[in-house]
Chains A and B, each alone.
Chain A
Amino acid sequence: MIANKSYVTLADYGSVDNQLFMPVPTRIKKVVSLNDLNKLFTLELPGGMSLDHRPGQFVEVSIFGVGEAPISITSSPSRSNSQFELCVRKVGDLTSAFHNMRAGDIVGIRGPFGRGFPIEKFRGKDILFAPGGLGLPPLRSLINQVLDERAHFGRVIILYGARNPDELLFKDELKEWGDRKDVELLLTVDKGEENWKGHVGVITTLFKEISIYPRNTIAVTVGPPVMYRFVLMEFLAKGITEGNIYLSLERRMKCGIGKCGHCQINNVYSCQSGPVFPYSEIKGLEEAL
């Protein structure tokens, strides 16, 4: 007998994931200010749950009453299972509300979502990282995993550019990386300041400083949309093949599950197929770059 006017709820249907849109209440353990606009949040899922993410993936962060936004995970899965880190730049309502939160407060987390970096394919290779500006936080996850498994990789080269010295993020870690013998770190800023003694110029000006063996190099870049064309030209000029170049495409992922349409790049839902793509996969997509 078919049901009549009686109401049913999701609980009556066991097969669907009725938690799909439900964020997991997640406690902020620590907040560190990186500069005027960026804060680093350490979060801990309840009940010892682990995030089980890959570098390059993102989570949907809920600030209840403000909304939900995609934020890439900046911590490496090799560092901690129960805790993870998000680097948040204050640009809109949600990130401003996030900045106002303190240790002990609760945010909602869904995810991790998307395709991260295929780190297993990177093993045995030289890795050339080229983050620009806010591209460092998502790449930091991968860089730290590579460094934690340092023996499995060849050379590690990091070219990092920011607008000015203050905007260079994770300065302590930059120093750590720079001090390591097995990491080649080059920094640059678009515009120097009095105390800045380093390189001045856009990130592409660092490429002439390095020499690489293209056939054994994986190149990875994350940065603002305007940067990609120029960095890609440098990678290709060095002889790195399109399939060995990886980048992450930021879009406005509203659902994270390939439905809402906001993150679509031509026919590709970047929340599902991305945000990390090999260049060979997206170079034919008109809307990618």
Chain B
Amino acid sequence: MSVTIIQKQDFPDFVNRLLSQFRVSGPVEEDGGYAFRVIENSDDLRLDYPTTILPPKKFLLPTKETLFEFDKSGNGTVQAPVVEPRTVVLGVHTCDLHAIKLLDRVFSTGHIDPNYTLRRKQTLIVSIECLTPCDENSFCKSMGTLSADDGYDLHMTDVGNFYTIDIGTEVGEELLQYAKTAPATEENMKKLNAVISEKWPRFPYRLDFDISDLPSLLNMSMKSPLWEELGERCLACAACTNVCPTCFCFDVRDEIDLDLQHGQRIRKWDSCQLDEFATIADGHNFRQSRALRQRHRFMRKGKYILEAHDYLGCVGCGRCARACLVDITPVGVFNELYRQKEVGGQS
């Protein structure tokens, strides 16, 4: 597919024209951090952001959403009130793109989730090539998520004075009607190729082993003493799962109005790290210890999700590592399990 370019000076105009047609969201700076927000002006965008606190997943699986509204009597009450405007999400990093591909598969496997599907279909993704690591916590190169061949509608690369645009889908191509574009010249392509080839050495491999060995490594690590160590440190604050772009577990609850007649069934993000997650009605908790909860988390990331959906459950974005106050990180955990295995193998 041919590559298009947009001059940087023309980019704000593109965004502003998108704003007149769509709900537009992208990374903005807030209080010294960054977050994906619905924007009102192209000036708010910070496409050079390192990483955001929450991933763009929140547009597809909101932190809290209404599944339906009801009447307490149960009579003629149920309806699906989900309505979504077409939304363009700008500036998605490739790690998050890989995460969205996983979520797409999770919510369309077996029972197709109506709310996710609707939001996904109403969402256009404009991703952006990462040229430098977000910080020392990202390990996308080890996870194979430093680039993406698909999953986007448009994909941008910052090449100095202009962005090159890879077109991923037909709707993506239609988006370009709002931009002043030009076909990439040979000179443009040379610059693009140089930018891409120069970026790779900037990203270090941070895992001490090849990622394809991760599932078997975890399989051998069910009884590793590391889990107990993590359990002693873990605060069970659930920051790791709440900031994760691939976590999708949820809770379902009812909320009722003060008239005690009308209410909503809501779905909200939940976390396997919290006490109540695996607790049944009589109070029995099937994952009582923090150690077992951490083990479950990492098994999902590196093994269970892969087995169920053919994609790894970790995309190397490093958000959990940044959020953890007690320094529990995927790189640290996976490398330590690898070290234990190597030591064990020698003895």
Binding site for B on A (CB under 8 A): 1-10, 13, 15-18, 20-23, 25, 62, 64-69, 91-92, 94-95, 105-108, 225, 250-252, 254-255, 257-262, 264-267, 272, 286-287
Establish whether residues B68 and A21, one from each chain, have CB atoms under 8 Å apart when the complex forms. yes
Q: Is B249 in contact with A262, judged by CB distance below 8 angstroms? A: yes
CB distance from A221 to the nearest CB of B (A): 17
Q: Which of B298-347 contact A (CB under 8 A)?
A: 299, 303-304, 307-308
**With the chains together, A268 CA to B308 CA distance in Å?**
9
User: Are the CB atoms of A65 and B250 closer together than 8 Å?
Assistant: no
Given contacts A65-B263, A261-B250, could you give 13 more A-B pairs where the C-beta distance is less than 8 Å? A2-B124, A9-B118, A13-B117, A20-B114, A64-B70, A64-B71, A65-B70, A94-B281, A105-B74, A250-B280, A252-B278, A286-B222, A287-B296
Q: State how many angstroms separate the Cβ of A71 from the closest Cβ of chain B.
A: 10
Cα distance, A126 to B312, chains bound together (Å): 45
Contact status B280-A68, CB under 8 Å:
no
Q: Which residues from chain B contact A23 at a C-beta distance below 8 Å?
A: 78
Judge whether B252 and A22 touch: CB under 8 Å. Answer: no
Asked if residues A267 and B282 are in contact (CB atoms below 8 Å), the reply is no
Q: Would you mind naming 8 contact pairs between A and B with Cβ atoms under 8 Å apart? A: A10-B82, A15-B112, A17-B112, A25-B75, A25-B76, A67-B252, A67-B253, A262-B278
Residues of B within 8 A of A25 (CB): 74-78
Residues A2 and B270 in contact, CB atoms below 8 Å apart: no
What total of A-B pairs shows CB separation below 8 Å?
170
Are B304 and A10 in contact, CB atoms less than 8 angstroms apart? Answer: no
Contact partners of B76 in chain A: CB under 8 A: 25
A62 to B78, CA, bound (A): 12
Q: CB-defined interface of B90-122 with A at 8 Å, one 1/0 digit per residue?
A: 000000000000000011011111110110011
Which B residues fall within an 8 A CB radius of A?
21-23, 67-68, 70-78, 80-86, 106-107, 109-115, 117-118, 121-122, 124, 171, 174-175, 222, 248-254, 256, 260, 263, 265, 267, 270, 272, 277-282, 284, 286-287, 292, 296, 299, 303-304, 307-308
Q: 5 tightest CB-CB pairs across the interface, nearest first? A: A261-B249, A106-B74, A267-B304, A257-B111, A65-B256
Find out whether the CB atom of B174 lies under 8 angstroms from the CB atom of A17.
Answer: no
When chains A and B are docked, how far (Å) is the Cα of A71 from the Cα of B121?
34
Q: Once bound together, how far apart are the Cα atoms of A114 and B81, in whole Å? A: 28
Contact A259 B286 (CB under 8 A): no
Closest chain B CB from A269 CB (angstroms): 8
Nearest CB on B from A213, distance (A): 35
Instruction: Write the nearest CB–CB distance from A7 to chain B, whole angstroms.
Output: 4
* CB closest chain-A residue, reference B82: A10
Q: Which residues of A contact B308 (CB under 8 A)?
A: 267
Docked CA distance A57–B166 (Å): 49
B83, B256, B263, B286: the one contacting A8 at CB < 8 Å is B83
